[in-house]
Amino acid sequence: MHITCMEQGRRSLCDHAGMHNKPTMLLLNVGHAIDHMFLLIFATAVTTIAGEFGLSRWEDLMPYSTAAFLFFGLGALPAGRLGDHWGRRSMMVLFFVGMGASAILVGFTRSPIQLALALALLGCFAAIYHPVGIPMLVQGSPHPGWTIGVNGFAGNLGIAFSAVVTGYLVKYFGWRMAFFVPGVVSIALGIAFAKAAKVETVPPARRAATQAELPAGLLARVLIVLTLASTGATLLFNFSTNGNYELLRERFAAVSRDPAELGLLLATIYAIASLAQLLVGKLIDRFALKPLYFTVLALQVVFLAMAANAQDWSLFILQTLFMAAIFGAIPFTDAMIVRYVDDRMRSRVAGARFAVSLGASSVAVWLLGPVVKQAGFAVLIWIMVAIALVMVFVIAWLPKPPRSGVRN
């Protein structure tokens, strides 16, 4: 009996699906939390760090974190290639240990330049997760949308933990401990992952195909839409997550200015908003991507516009709603990769997508301080509304997914 390439692909997929035992899957999701948490420690502690470094305003120190987000994007390209050709397990061990070591290094810095260099190194290791960890997680998953949704939820819990943990560590132990403690934890997680994850016998690039390939022209169209949609989503993500603490601190002043309390409030916003990813992940497995994505984008426009001039508790409620819409858009780009791209090259495609989108959107981090300093948060929020509207036209160009072959 002849075995087709597609049948071989299904067998290969099943063989490798067994590598994801529960501890491995748990650690992969924790890795997503670590990835986003570490990148936002600085954004929560920036006011305190600026004061120690002799700067009068946090906006003047914020641009020093731009290199971290630039390398977070550009580093995804080599990370994705290494994930497909060298192995995703080895890259994830490097991710955990590298994140921990670089975070500890940030805690030892004594000047803005040293801080910028250490954060840049942190961004390089942070670049590994998305093009490597997510394809490793969805490999062989019978419900990839839900798997992506849970993973996104974990990532956003990392954002919430960043706010509350950093707030308390800064208040009671100083900003350096806000980097030291998570750094040690990350290294310990890397050791646990190395023991839990099974060694890959064959790297993804050398496995058989698991789904039908798209024609070159249609694949190029998908990649363009994927990259543009990811860029827009990441711009909104970076503007919001890097600016939310200072937005809340400025407009919630009548209620509280305590950093620990504000950190807890922001963590509450992120924890509640993260639930949107679970809902979206569930819906992605059941419905077409385009109408779902259009709905989420419409909610972004409405809630952001309402929040432009909100204050105190009204702002708190609207921040929760627009963050739910922003977080809810995140699973779509990963779902596009699962539906349109074979597992053999998912890390490379994801790496290329992140290299462009995160590299381009690192400008959001660079612009955040100057824009808020010169024009205020209201103007920043209206810029975010415009980005969401542009994304509506981008998603309209997305073709229908292929019907043949396995979906994941």
pLDDT bucket at 406, cuts 50 / 70 / 90: very low
In the numeric block, the tokens 């750094």 are attached to: 183
- Helix H or strand E encompassing 218: helix 216-251
More confident residue, 203 or 281: 281
pLDDT bucket at 56, cuts 50 / 70 / 90: confident
pLDDT at 50 over 80: yes
pLDDT at residue 361, rounded to an integer: 66
User: Nearest Cα to 29, choosing from 248, 377, 277, 280?
Assistant: 277
pLDDT at residue 259, rounded to an integer: 77
pLDDT at residue 285, rounded to an integer: 86
pLDDT bucket at 402, cuts 50 / 70 / 90: low
pLDDT at 292 over 60: yes
Rounded Cα distance between 156 and 330, Å, is 10
pLDDT at residue 13, rounded to an integer: 39
Q: Can you state the percent helix, strand and coil of the chain, rounding each to 5?
A: 80, 0, 20
pLDDT at residue 260, rounded to an integer: 78
> Residue 375 in contact with residue 252, Cβ under 8 Å?
no
Mean pLDDT of 198-213: 65
* Pair of tokens at residue 242: 């890097």
> Residue 32 in contact with residue 151, Cβ under 8 Å?
yes
> Residue 112 in contact with residue 139, Cβ under 8 Å?
no
User: Nearest Cα to 75, choosing from 130, 153, 149, 155?
Assistant: 130
User: Nearest Cα to 300, choosing from 274, 267, 324, 276?
Assistant: 324
Mean pLDDT of 220-238: 85
Q: Which has the minimum average pLDDT: 221-235, 249-263, 271-285, 343-357?
A: 343-357
pLDDT at residue 408, rounded to an integer: 46
pLDDT at 93 over 90: yes
> Residue 32 in contact with residue 129, Cβ under 8 Å?
yes
pLDDT bucket at 14, cuts 50 / 70 / 90: very low
Burial of 29 (0-12, 13-18, 19+ CB in 10 A): buried
> Residue 307 in contact with residue 251, Cβ under 8 Å?
no
Query: Which three-class secondary structure state does DSSP give residue 75?
Result: coil
pLDDT bucket at 315, cuts 50 / 70 / 90: very high
Q: Can you say whether residue 218 is alpha, beta or left, with left for phi > 0 and alpha for psi between -120 and 50 degrees?
A: alpha
CATH number, span 13-395:
1.20.1250.20
Please name the residues in contact with 372: beta carbons below 8 A apart, sequence gap of 6 or more: 59, 243, 246, 380
Q: Got the DSSP string for 151-196? A: HHHHHHHHHHHHHHHHHHHHHHH-TTHHHHHHHHHHHHHHHHHHHH
40 alpha-carbon distance from chain centroid = 11
Please name the residues in contact with 103: beta carbons below 8 A apart, sequence gap of 6 or more: 38, 41, 122, 179, 180, 182, 183, 186
Mean pLDDT of 374-396: 91
pLDDT at residue 16, rounded to an integer: 44
pLDDT at residue 374, rounded to an integer: 84
Burial of 136 (0-12, 13-18, 19+ CB in 10 A): buried
Mean pLDDT of 147-170: 87
pLDDT at 90 over 70: yes
pLDDT at residue 211, rounded to an integer: 58
The whole-chain average pLDDT of the chain stands at 84
188 alpha-carbon distance from chain centroid = 22
pLDDT bucket at 404, cuts 50 / 70 / 90: very low
Mean pLDDT of 138-161: 85
pLDDT bucket at 206, cuts 50 / 70 / 90: low
Burial of 218 (0-12, 13-18, 19+ CB in 10 A): middle
